[in-house]
Amino acid sequence: MKYIFTEKGKKNAKNYLANLMAKRKEILDAGLDTTEEFDCANLTIEVLLEDAVDVGFDEDMQAINGYYVTDHYDSDNPYCFTLGEDIVMIPESEEDLYDSIRKNYSEKKVTNE
Span 61-112, pLDDT tens digits: 999 999 999 999 999 999 999 999 999 998 877 777 667 666 655 655 545 4
Say what the pLDDT of residue 48 is: 97
* pLDDT exceeds cutoff 80 at 37: yes
Tell me the whole-structure pTM to 2 decimals: 0.81
For the chain, what is the total number of helices (H) and then of strands (E)?
Answer: 3, 4
Whether the predicted pLDDT of 28 surpasses 60: yes
Average confidence (pLDDT) over 2-9: 96
- Domain positions in the chain: 2-88
Mean pLDDT of 38-59: 94
30-51 burial: b if 16+ Cβ within 10 Å, else e: eeebebeebebeebebeebbee
According to the model, what pLDDT value does residue 95 have? Answer: 72
